[in-house]
Amino acid sequence: MKKVFPSLLVLALLLPLPACQQAPAASLPAEPPLPGSLMTAIIPIPRDPPGFNAYLSDTGYEELFGELVYEGLAEQAPDGTFYPKLARELPTYENGGISPDGLTVIWKLRDHIVWSDGRPFTSDDVLFTYEALHHPNNRLARDTGIDLIDSVETPDDFTVILHYREPYPNIWGQFGGRGVGIFPRHACGDLGWMLGWDCNTQPVGTGPFVLQSWEKGKSIVLERNPRYWQTGRPFLDRLVFPIVPDDLVRSDMLADGDAHVNLWLTPEQLKYLASTPDLRFLTLPSRWLLRIAFNLGEPLPISPNPTPTGRRRATPTPSPPGPNPALANVLVRQALDLAIDRQRLADEVFGGRAQPAASEFFRGWAICPELTPPAYDPDGARMLLSQVGWLDLDGNGVVEAHGVAAVPDGTPLTVRFTAPDSWDALVKAQKLVSQMWKEIGIKVQTEIVGPRDLQGGWEEKGLEVMGQFQVDLWDDGYPGNDPTDYLIWRYASWSAPDKSNGGQGGNVMRFANPEVDRLLLQSLTQVDPSQRRTTFCQIGRLLAEQRPMLYLVYFTETHAVSPKVQNMVVNPNDAFTWDVLNWQTSK
């Protein structure tokens, strides 16, 4: 089951600007309190985090804690621009930091930073981080683009030169963001065993806080890093994270003034806290998006059942259906899209914890505000079906073919609709969407299968990779902040799963569009997020026209913040604690 979070509000859309060189600053009082004033922020959490290393998993807690102790070469601001952190400046074509062919990137590091144990931060720590991420035992390269780096040079303590095999667009965000960054060679452990590093649970970082104590099941306490390189920061002296499993007890703590933040609220917590005066509710899109995929390709053969020994032969099991010829027509796919009431789906199935979706680009700097969810229009859907020959002339409530290419006249429009049984809400969503499709004359055959049966690999003969499905439903989304790699994996024509790639491609729709392919390749050459976003929005418009996939709702996460917390800035491109060095608390 994938994690989803509730929603009250939708954060205003934030558009990226050209890359900046200065770190964003909160609006601070003229005379902030001096360190040592014993300002503390208390943030109860339901369980112990896995650790401080957000490269290893994505529960959300690694990001939350990793942001407190580790820092990247560069980080991303709320408006989508990047700013240097451990680096002195962003490498660009203009300053010579990026070679004309995009294959060499030079990072200049700050020369006055020390780790929290007093050891100097140098280029060798960047090299160590690269070597660990690149090590085959750690298997993390797919999400970070590390596999595109052929070699790393460190000509001196404060210069890192990266040599890429091919241009990689997210170079500014590669060694930073959402709780990850640079690790110390002297304090972590074996390159080939990141899972067992000491610094996962006993972090030594360059960030604003250091771990003071961790009592499993009770509390985690961090204190101000006295060696932090940004003068006068952080303002807080301590961060306390009590481990409080009960949701309503955590809400009580916030309502009674015994806590400053309540994270990832459930619907019950939202209802409970709604009457608490002056609380600030912050809602952001999560990674997950509920979607419907169409099979637009040709099914691959599946071997028949083996014949058992003995006198009786096995009864062959019919192969699952492959592509539906009716769905090859884009107008039919558009009709199915118009028939879905997204707001009703969000309200009835997900209890308001989701918002109607229009595309892959619904969060962070990559948002495309011009892409909006299609209006619920069942009459328009029926009209589209009639235009291509799907009419209910016999009055039985189901449309049948009349002059439809490759379909015998009188054949009812039947859709086989598959969903995994990994999450009850998916099955409920499947049922509701099926009802909506039946209302426009579609005969829907629903199918519930195990996640491995649907999305298993080549050896497991998963229905998707083998092309043995018609329409299916699941939730997914790109990790981190940069959708580039995910888009290529999901929509490039060369990413369709087949025998040659061992079923590894994510384009299970078998969608192929030359212009989408061209734009995906173009995005690989665009380092500036604002340029890449323009390309992404072009891709989004093409996908909206062709509809190889329908985007139903995206899930959101909501946090509640006490009025005692000042200078907290929401950043959809980074972890909740991204600007903790600026937070202040009042009594």
Q: Do 195 and 291 fall into the same domain?
A: no
| pLDDT the model gives residue 140 | 67
Residue 212 binned pLDDT confidence (cut-offs 50, 70, 90): very high
Q: Which residue, of 184, 200, 216, is where some domain finishes?
A: 200
Instruction: Say yes or no: 196 and 291 in one domain.
Output: no
The mean-pLDDT minimum among 102-116, 129-143, 299-313, 418-432 falls in 299-313
pLDDT band at 167 (very low <50, low <70, confident <90, very high): confident
Tens digit of pLDDT for each residue in 450-469? 988 898 888 888 899 999 99
| Same-domain pairing of 87 and 191 | yes
> Do 336 and 482 share a domain, yes or no?
yes
pLDDT of 3 strictly over 50: no
DSSP structural state of residue 271: H
Does some domain include residue 468? yes
Beta strands in 431-548 (DSSP E): 443-449, 471-476
pLDDT tens digits, residue range 61-98?
999 999 999 999 999 999 999 999 999 999 999 999 99
Last residue of some domain: 175, 200, 225?
Answer: 200
Please provide residue 519's backbone torsions phi and psi, each rounded to the nearest 5 degrees.
-70, -35
Q: Which of 23-32, 118-127, 318-327, 475-484 has the lowest mean pLDDT?
A: 23-32
Tens of pLDDT along 35-64?
A: 445 699 999 999 999 999 998 877 789 999
pLDDT confidence of residue 352: 73
Handedness of CA 65, 66, 70, 73 (dihedral sign): negative
One domain, residues 193 and 295 = no
Averaged pLDDT, 130-148: 82
Q: Does residue 281 fall inside a structural domain?
A: no
Does 494 reside within a domain? yes
- Judge if 377 and 521 occupy the same domain: yes
Same domain, 421 and 294: yes
Residue 504 has pLDDT above 70, yes or no: yes
Task: Write the CATH number for 403.
Answer: 3.10.105.10
Kindly report the backbone phi and psi dihedral angles of residue 432, in degrees, each rounded to the nearest multiple of 5, phi listed first.
-70, -45
The CATH number for 120's domain is 3.90.76.10
**178-192: pLDDT as tens digits:** 889 999 999 999 999
Query: Is 270 part of a structural domain of the chain?
Result: no
152-160 mean pLDDT:
98
Q: How many CB atoms are located within 10 Å of the residue 29 CB?
A: 10
Q: Is 56 within the bounds of a domain?
A: no
In a domain, 222, yes or no: no
Both tokens of 263, joined, read 């994270």
Full residue range of the structural domain in which residue 450 is found? 287-301+321-557
**Could you tell me the sign of the dihedral formed by the alpha carbons of 455, 458, 461, 467, in that order?**
positive
- Tokens describing residue 10: 């939708």
Identify whether 445 is part of a domain.
Answer: yes
Number of folded domains that form the chain? 2
Among 200, 223, 241, give the residue marking a domain's end.
Answer: 200
CA dihedral (67, 71, 72, 74) in degrees, to 10, reads 90
Q: Is residue 495, in this structure, part of any structural domain at all?
A: yes
What's the burial of 568, exposed, middle or buried (CB within 10 Å: 0-12/13-18/19+)?
Answer: buried
167 and 292: one domain? no
Whether the CB-CB separation of 136 and 444 falls below 8 Å is answered with: no
Compute the distance between CA of residue 384 and CA of residue 391 in angstroms, rounded to an integer.
10
341 and 193 housed in the same domain: no
Q: Write the DSSP symbol of residue 98.
A: B
Q: Is the pLDDT of residue 9 over 50?
A: no
